[in-house]
Amino acid sequence: METGIWVSLLSALWFGILTSISPCPLATNIAAISYIAKEAHRPAAVLTRALLYAVGRLAAYVILAVIVVTGLLSVPPVARFLERNMNLIIGPLLILVALFLFDVIQFMVPSVGAGVALQNFVKKARWLGPLILGFVFALTFCPVSAGLFFGSLIPLAVQSESRLLVPGIYGVGTALPVAGFAVILSLGVATVASAFQTITKVEFWARRITGAIFVLAGIYLIIRNWPLYVQLFTR
C-alpha cells in the first residue's frame, strides 16, 4: 500500500477519535451508554449493549460519508472541478477547520436528544435499541465534530477517491473511545467520572495541537500553490 494512502488512513483514524472525544459527542456518548447500562445488571451485558451503540455510531458516520463522497465523485462537473482545484481548496479549508478547533468560529446546530419515544424503544428493543440510539446520536453534529467530518474527512476521502475505506477507518476511530468507555463503565460509575475528566483534559490539548498542525499545513499549502492562486484569480 502506498505511503499516501497510509497517511490518509491514519489521518482518518485520528479525525474519528478526535470527533468522538470532542465535547458534544463525548457528553452524548457517556449519557447514552450510562442510560443503556441502567437496563443491564451484568457487566457483560453492559459491555455488549455499549459496543452495539458504538457500532451504530460507526455505521452512521460511514453511511453518511459514503453518500457524500459518492455524490461528489459521481457528478462529472463536480468531480472535474475537485480534480483540478483540490490542491487549492485544501489549504484554506485546513485553516478554516482549525478555527473551529480553536473555538474561534462557532454556530448553533440542532440538537438531538433521547426523547421519550426513543427511550422507550431502546428499553423494549434490547439489542437493536443501542444500535439505533448510536446511529441517531452520531448524526447530531456540534461545530467541532461538523468541522472535522465535513471539513477534514470528506475532503480527505475525495482526494483519496476512497468511498468506503477512508470513511470506514474514520468510523472505527469514532467507535474506539466509545468502546473504551463501555469497558470502563462495566468497571463502575466512579471510574467513568475519573476517565471523563482525564479525557476532557486530553481532548483540550489534542484539539489545539491538531488545530496548530492544520494552520501550519494550510499555510504551507497556500504558499506552495501561490502561483496557481494568482493564475486562478487573474484569468
pLDDT at 161 over 70: yes
Neighbour-count burial for 146-172, b at 16+ CB within 10 Å, e otherwise? bbbbbbbbbbbbbbbebbeebbbbbbb
Q: Are 171 and 62 in contact (CB under 8 A)?
A: yes
Angle (nearest 5°) at CA 205 between 200 and 206: 90
Angle (nearest 5°) at CA 144 between 141 and 145: 45
**Smallest Cα–Cα separation from 197: which of 35, 27, 17, 15?**
27
| Rounded-to-integer distance, Cα 224 and Cα 176, Å | 36
**Smallest Cα–Cα separation from 139: which of 60, 235, 220, 79?**
60
The pLDDT, as a whole number, for residue 228 is 79
Element (H, E) at 214: helix 189-224
pLDDT at 135 over 60: yes
- DSSP letters, 37-86, are HTT--SHHHHHHHHHHHHHHHHHHHHHHHHHHHHHHHHSHHHHHHHHHHH
Of residues 51 and 42, which shows the higher confidence score? 51
| Rounded-to-integer distance, Cα 75 and Cα 78, Å | 5
Domain locations in the chain as residue ranges: 1-234
* Portion of the chain with pLDDT greater than 90, in percent: 16
| Rounded-to-integer distance, Cα 131 and Cα 115, Å | 16
pLDDT at 226 over 70: yes
Over residues 169-184, mean pLDDT:
83
Residue with cell 470506514: 168
The pLDDT, as a whole number, for residue 23 is 79
Counting Cα atoms < 13 Å in the Cβ hemisphere of 150 gives 10
| Rounded-to-integer distance, Cα 20 and Cα 86, Å | 27
**Distance between alpha carbon 23 and the CA centroid of its chain, in Å?**
12
pLDDT at 198 over 90: no
Q: Are 173 and 16 in contact (CB under 8 A)?
A: yes
